[in-house]
Amino acid sequence: MPNNPLKIACYGEILWDTFPDKKHLGGAPLNVALRLHSFGVDVAMISTLGNDALGKEALAEIKELGLKTKYIQRNDKPTGQVTVTLDKKGVASYEIGDNAAWDNIAWTEDNVAAVTNADALIIGSLVFRESVNLDTLLLDAEEEITPPVNLEAIEVLIERSKFTVFDLNLRAPHYDLEVVVGLMEAADMIKLNDEELELVVLAMGIEAETLEDELKMLSAMTETPTVCVTLGAEGAMLLHKGGIHTQIGFKTKVADTVGAGDSFLATLVFGLLSGETADDALEVACAMGSLVAGKPGANPTVHNDEVNDLLDDI
């Protein structure tokens, strides 16, 4: 554990996951931020909510959960919503609303300071479906560079952070693979699931016979030293400091998969930045992801005893 609390900035969407009979606060970067906050991390959540009832409700809930709201802006666009559909196994599919408040995260000096002072910056892919957020990242680092944004400029921007984690959340049609590849090249760590990996491998022309070789080639081609792929119920594989680490999945009765990957990522990043071994960090991250999948909603409470009990059952 670090002597002082880690500082991590999470940049991206805050939205409502809307189910047929309920709604839960979500958005991958917020899910990551809330899980990190539960570990005692000093989190800066950089996003935008609408000046509407849903935005007011979201902000109140975020405050109640104890997360700082200093870096959450408001605008006149509608607060983001996603319609979530679960299949018989609890696996989620998403219909994402367009022209949301989080599509317009404005540049502010507070945001720049938050990223500059953080130990890590975690960004997802969904927030870059609109160019204004690419422009924001650009302006954060190089005010003299103006749009149109190009991938070379994005690399310069993200290099401003001490450690950049790029979390792929490829929801068709809300991504551009050219932008995704550019962000992977600029990141220090990539996290994606097995389906996303196959999309990326195809787009980049990677030909490999094994999953391990795919990760190694992706790491080499993007010059990103840490790459993690989640495999659903089968666990995860992590390439870190030249070594391959694998963890089998933990058995769980799935309530829904919403947010499970986000809690996995938060736990993994926290573990690695706190000095845990890659094997230990990956094991705990898989346990956390499994426990979240076994509970409804993207941000359920998970107690340390639950994680420890699951690990003790191995």
| Burial readout 39-73 (b: 16 or more C-beta within 10 A, e: otherwise) | bebbbbbbbbbbeeebbeebbeebeeeebeeebbb
Beta pairing partners, 123: 11, 166
Q: What percent of the chain has pLDDT over 70?
A: 89
Task: State residue 30's pLDDT score.
Answer: 96
Residue 64: which pLDDT band, with cuts at 50, 70 and 90? very high
Q: For 64-87, what is the mean pLDDT?
A: 92
Least confident stretch, 45-49, 173-177, 251-255, 259-263: 173-177
| Cis preceding-peptide flag for 173 (omega within 30 of 0) | yes
Domains along the chain with CATH numbers? 7-312 (3.40.1190.20)
Residue 152: which pLDDT band, with cuts at 50, 70 and 90? very low
Mean pLDDT score across all residues of the chain: 87
Q: For 283-287, what is the mean pLDDT?
A: 97
Residue 137: which pLDDT band, with cuts at 50, 70 and 90? low
How do residues 79-132 score in pLDDT, each as one tens digit? Answer: 999 888 888 777 778 788 888 999 888 777 788 788 889 999 999 888 887 655
User: pTM here?
Assistant: 0.89
For residue 308, the one-letter residue type is N
Task: State residue 20's pLDDT score.
Answer: 83
Q: Would you tell me how many other CB atoms lie within 10 Å of the CB of residue 178? A: 10
Higher pLDDT, 212 or 127: 212
